[in-house]
A and B are shown apart, each in its own frame.
Chain A
Amino acid sequence: MPKPGRQAEESVGTRHLIPIGGGKGGVGKTFVTANVATALARRGLRVIAVDADLEGANLHTLLGVAEPSLSLADYVAQREDDLSKLILDTPIPNLSLIAATHAHIATPQPSQARRVQLIRALRQLPADVVLMDLGAGIHAPVMDYFMVVEQGVLVINPEPTSIENAYAFLRAAFYRRLRLAMVSLDVRKLVSMAMDQRGDRNLQTPFDLLREVQAMDPESGARFVETVRSFRPRILMNEVQTADEIRLGFSIRSVCKKYFGIDVEYLGYVNREREARNSVRSRVPLVDLAPESQGAAYLRRVAERLIEAEKK
């Protein structure tokens, strides 16, 4: 049930736009998005959860919205140009949804020009917080959404595959951000060369690239350092079961610091919770279904920290 122009009389533009990605499928991006969105809405904030996973949409299911009649796919296909007309109610007060169902099978993703429009429109949504649930992988649309802010969230499982994909995701975001920030065409070309993992041996690591950029153009070198300094992604360890798995988040933070030179914030962790499975089956977010559970408490804490960090 779409609500055209909903809340249009209220303040225009969102205060917090937060993409939630992770590189790998099945790590709990959608679960975290649904629960954090619910926790923030229960706190009285106007929240819009946006399903940006056009090839695997199911945020609506976790939020208990059965058959979205309109979705982001309509915006992508240019059947609808007003993003606010795609906002749907959910059973949770203060929480709305932009679903991603019925995307075009052959060309689900928006063109680059349409993505630019979409990102601009997302910033204008009438909400305190807009959470974006990103799809898996490191293709251009996912990276573009992740980079709309400097502090996107990565959901990681304590498993080698998830961690490996998270690093691949960060690597892609890191170099794309750098390439965009560089003004000189020669330096941009250098960044593109560094993105080829089997490319020039002298450009294997971010520090190799920095050394070459500084040698080529000191001004670009300074811009490089500033771009890296401002990139502060956040990580969340999901489905942890032991203290070692909790500590893994600190280790990942260390690796990011030593390899990329970036300061990653360890947002928190969520334990593996039996109730989580029930929550998905019953299509009710865990923070509502079992608010007293440990998992719900951790998710609420993550939601609080997310907003606290945004305020800084």
Chain B
Amino acid sequence: MKPISDQDHYEILETTRDASSKEVERAYRLQRATYAEDSLANSSLFDDADISVLRERIEVAYGILGDADKRRAYDEGLDPQKADSAGSADNSPVDLSADASVNTTEGRSVGLEQAPVAEPKRAPAPLTRAVDYEEVDEKSGDFDGPRLQRVRVRRDVSIDQISASTKINPLYLRFIEEERTADLPAAVYVRGFVRAYASYLGLDPDKVARSYMERFEEARERARSDSNRASPRRRSRHTA
């Protein structure tokens, strides 16, 4: 019993590790149809944000498992003894859920802290060197949405470029910059998005995520309290 955020690409597509390429494709088609906008099957249980994340994960999973070379690299990466060979692969997306080194910071189960999205193995050409966040022009230790946006603009990177590499919906990337907490999905997903975003820009994903999520959780808590005060019996999971 694993939450979606903990599932690897095979589990997301509900196929087996020894599945043939045709079986992987069939599994992908079923998953895509199941969670499509007009699907009858996914009504009433998942909320819109969760479905959106799930769709992204399905696409990322198939992007890797549907490609023989990427699948091989991914499979090797899952084996800790072969982690080096996976690390030497090109900058194709890898799944952070396979990264057992991700630590928890809030006492939750390990998997819940792992990002459910793809992250570039290394930053694109102009950003190959990991930039320490202290080197960024601002001296503040806090990474809020506007600061992330400034870093992005300074590096001449567009939202779409980050989205293309990380497979994160560009709308969510924009919401992160604008700190629209109410429009973002569950915290576990946002943490993954922020990590991937930071990593793309060459920032330290752990530090950025920690800083950003602290503000995010506070904002969510404030909104929840306000909502409780306003209408204690009529809260909605989409707006609270």
Contact = CB atoms under 8 A, between A and B. Distances in A.
- Binding partners A and B: yes
Interface of A: 158-160, 163-164, 167-168, 171, 198, 201, 204, 207, 210-211, 214-215, 225, 228-229, 247-248, 250-252, 254-255, 257-259, 261
A163 B34 CA distance: 13
Contact of A168 (B3, B44, B46): B44
Report the 8 A-B pairs with minimum CB-CB distance, sorted nearest first. Answer: A251-B41, A251-B34, A261-B1, A207-B3, A259-B45, A164-B44, A254-B34, A252-B41
B92 to A, nearest CB: 25
A250 B39 CA distance: 12
B196 interface: no
Interface string B158-199: 000000000000000000000000000000000000000000
Given A201-B240, A207-B3, A160 B43 contact: yes
B2 interface: yes
B14 A254 contact: yes
Interface string B90-114: 0000000000000000011100100
Interface string B65-108: 00000000000000000000000000000000000000000011
A255 B31 CA distance: 9
B33 interface: yes
A235 to B, nearest CB: 11
Given A247-B30, A258-B54, A163 B43 contact: yes
Contact of A251 (B4, B30, B46): B30
B229 interface: no
B4 A258 contact: yes
Interface in B100-157: 107-109, 112
14 contacts: A160-B43, A163-B40, A163-B43, A167-B43, A171-B45, A198-B233, A201-B237, A201-B240, A248-B41, A251-B34, A251-B40, A255-B45, A255-B46, A261-B2
Interface residues of B, number: 29
Interface of B: 1-4, 14, 30-31, 33-34, 39-46, 54, 107-109, 112, 224, 233-237, 240
Contact of B44 (A167, A201, A251): A167
B24 to A, nearest CB: 15
Given A201-B224, A229-B1, A255 B41 contact: yes
Given A201-B224, A254-B30, A211 B44 contact: no
Contact of A215 (B43, B107, B234): B107
A163 B224 contact: no
A254 B108 contact: no
Contact of B109 (A163, A198, A211): A211
A228 B3 CA distance: 13
A255 B1 contact: no
B1 A210 contact: yes
A250 B30 contact: yes
Contacts of A259: 45-46
Nearest to B33: A251
Nearest to A199: B235
Contacts of A198: 233-236
A74 B14 CA distance: 48
B40 to A, nearest CB: 6
A254 B41 contact: yes
Contacts of B4: 258
A269 B235 CA distance: 39
Contacts of A207: 1, 3
Given A198-B234, A201-B240, A228-B1, A164 B14 contact: no
